[in-house]
Structure 1
């Protein structure tokens, strides 16, 4: 078993609209399982997994944030601090989530995360549709990834998708290793970021589970 004390810590932020499946992707990568149900993320969730890349142990620290703006304002500065890599996610069944990607990219730019920060584009929920609309968006996604120098993955966090989910995050890890954009072990975090009072009230009002895989 790997000794986490000797790991370098890599902070990866996962960006995209609410419901695109960010939580399911990070959960599948870190636990190997697809969650039977997930509550809509309020604030920030953290997950970690130690991997080995070219003989070095890396702790991938995944920051999965709520897509709703009202839950992000109070923590956005913490979210974008000391970022090593970025995962952009959209839902292939919802073209609106694809059209939102430039907004997320611009937010990264505003927080001084340039193209030197490794990034990957993911079209999630590939198991749900094969419509002409999604095919058209697929071509647009490939062009967007080419323009911004990002690898592009079409995947599903469900079923047999674990290998592909692993490949997404390992691609980022390998790019970071090659670029040397790593720092020594930082604070270990897990679970949920402490929520402001307003967000806690919003969470208490939620009465149904939303699986956004």
Structure 2
């Protein structure tokens, strides 16, 4: 019997090079991988956290930002409980690409999905191109939660994923996201929360 209450699927999306993999590695392994290469297709890592006295397992999917992988990564939107759209605060192009990602979210993601807009690489103060207020305005326009992070300095990284875990747990308890048992689980053990079955690669 698994020793966790819920399993949530969290998917990171955004342009290549914005730091999605570094955010995942920082949270799950406590590492900042220098010279991190581009993700090929989709990768995932798992971390168990404690929310209100209960163990919650976060299955965090790191998707490739390159256009050639888009048809692969889109299939992971549907079974996600939360989507994190990441841009680089030092790169205007990554911010200008956000509307395209929003369109994909609207086309492929489920209805009861938690969405976050994350501006990464805040440690590079002298290279910043996107002011915090601009990111906040964009997030408000699309009714997304907003946070700025630095995977390198570990600023707000744990806060980001723990907030997501807390909010998904709250929504599940309120039955706004319907729990669906995963094959092999018994009542009273772990529940995977998804409107679709989990995709695997």
Backbone CA RMSD of aligned residues: 2.4
Pick from 41, 47, 50 the counterpart of residue 48 of structure 2: 50
Whose RCO is larger (CA < 8 A, sep 6+)? 1
| Alignment deviations for residues 190-210 of structure 1 (CA, whole Å, 9 cap, x no partner) | xxx75xxxxxxxxxxxxxxxx
Whether the 8 Å contact between 1:10 and 1:61 is mirrored in structure 2 is yes
Structure whose residues are more often helix by fraction: 1
Size of the alignment, in residue pairs? 183
Q: Is the Cα–Cα contact under 8 Å of residues 8 and 81 in structure 2 kept in the other structure?
A: yes
The answer to whether residue 80 in structure 2 is matched with residue 83 in structure 1 is: yes
Distance 1:148 1:75, change over 3 A: closer
Contact 1:120 1:151 in 2 (8 A): yes
Please state if 1:165 is matched with 2:161. Answer: no
* Alignment pair present for 1:123 and 2:119: yes
Counterpart residue number, 2:138: 144
For residues 131 and 23 of structure 1, do their structure 2 counterparts lie closer, same or farther at Cα, with a shift above 3 Å needed?
A: closer
Q: Which residue of 1 aligns with 2:65?
A: 67
Q: For 2:72 and 2:121, how far apart are their aligned partners in 1?
A: 29
Report how far residue 108 of structure 1 moved: 1.1
Q: Quick one: distance in 2 between partners of 1:132 and 1:90?
A: 12
The residue number in structure 2 matching 1:206 is none
Distance 2:2 2:97 in 1: 36
Mapped partners of 2:166, 2:124: distance in 1: 30
In the alignment, which residue of structure 1 is the partner of 2:103? 106
Give, in angstroms, the shift of residue 50 of structure 1. 0.3
Contact 2:74 2:104 in 1 (8 A): no
* Corresponding residue for residue 204 of structure 1: none
Could you tell me the TM-score, scaled by structure 1's length? 0.77
TM-superposed CA distance for 1:4, in Å, is 4.6
SS in 2 for 1:10: strand
Report the Cα offset of residue 131 of structure 1.
5.5
* C-alpha spacing 1:97/1:8, structure 2 compared with 1 (3 Å): same
Structure 2 counterpart SS, 1:168: helix
Question: Helix, strand or coil for the counterpart of 2:47?
Answer: strand
Any stretches of 5+ residues in structure 1 without a counterpart? 195-213
Taking a change above 3 Å as real, the CA distance of residues 61 and 139 of structure 1, as seen in their structure-2 partners, is: same
